[in-house]
Amino acid sequence: MKPTRVAADRLRAFAIAVFEAAGAPPEHARRATDVLIWASLRGVDTHGIRNLKRYYLDASGVGRRDGKIVFDAELILEAESATTAAFNAQSGLALSLSVQAMQCAIEKARSAGTAVVTVRNSTHFGPAGYYAWMATAHDMLGFASCGYLFPHGQPKAVLPFGGVLPLLSTNPIAMACPAATMPPFVLDMATSVVPVNRVELNEEEGRPVPPDWALDAHGQPTTDPAQVHSVVPLGGATTFGGHKGYGMALASWILTSLLSGAWRRDADPQRVLGQTPQPMHGFSQEGIGHCFAAIRLDQFGDPAVIRQGLDAMIRSLNDSPPADGVSQVQVPGQGAAASEEERRREGIPINGATMEDLLSLSQKYGVPF
pLDDT tens digit sequence for 59-94: 654 655 566 799 999 999 999 999 999 999 999 999
- CA pair distance 196, 209, nearest whole angstrom: 11
The model's pTM is 0.95
Nearest partner of 106 among 146, 78, 74, 133, judged by Cα? 133
Indicate if the pLDDT at residue 141 is higher than 70: yes
Q: What pLDDT shows up at residue 61?
A: 46
Q: Which fold has domain 4-321+327-332+348-365?
A: Ribosomal Protein S8; Chain: A, domain 1 (3.30.1370)
Q: What pLDDT shows up at residue 60?
A: 55
Torsion angle of the four alpha carbons 30, 270, 77, 251, in this order, in degrees rounded to the nearest 10: -90
CA angle, 171 as apex, 182 and 112 as ends, to 5°? 60
Q: What pLDDT shows up at residue 32?
A: 98
Contact indicator for 96, 28 with CB cutoff of 8 Å: yes
Q: Name the DSSP letter for residue 149.
A: B
pLDDT in tens, 354-368: 999 999 999 999 999
Nearest partner of 39 among 30, 50, 27, judged by Cα? 50
Indicate if the pLDDT at residue 159 is higher than 60: yes
Quick one: 346 exposed, middle or buried, by C-beta within 10 A (0-12, 13-18, 19+)?
Answer: exposed
Where helices occur in the chain by DSSP H, the ranges are 8-21, 26-41, 51, 94-112, 128-134, 196-204, 242-253, 303-319, 334-346, 352-365
Contact indicator for 126, 38 with CB cutoff of 8 Å: no
Can you tell me the mean pLDDT for 120-135?
A: 96
Contact indicator for 24, 93 with CB cutoff of 8 Å: yes
Torsion angle of the four alpha carbons 267, 252, 38, 210, in this order, in degrees rounded to the nearest 10: -110
Can you tell me the mean pLDDT for 38-59?
A: 93
Q: Amino acid identity, residue 193?
A: V
Q: What pLDDT shows up at residue 242?
A: 87
Who contacts 290 (Cβ-Cβ below 8 Å, separation ≥6)?
A: 94, 98, 101, 118, 119, 122, 125, 144, 145, 146, 256, 260
CA angle, 288 as apex, 284 and 291 as ends, to 5°? 115
Who contacts 44 (Cβ-Cβ below 8 Å, separation ≥6)?
A: 127, 129, 188, 336
CA angle, 296 as apex, 191 and 249 as ends, to 5°? 10
Nearest partner of 139 among 91, 169, 178, 108, judged by Cα? 178
For residue 212, the Cα-to-chain-centroid distance in whole angstroms is 22
Arithmetic mean of pLDDT over the chain: 94
3-state secondary structure of 204: helix
CA angle, 332 as apex, 330 and 333 as ends, to 5°? 100
Local confidence band at 158 (pLDDT 50, 70, 90 cut-offs): very high
Contact indicator for 168, 222 with CB cutoff of 8 Å: no
- 3-state SS of the chain: helix, strand, coil percent to 5? 40, 20, 40
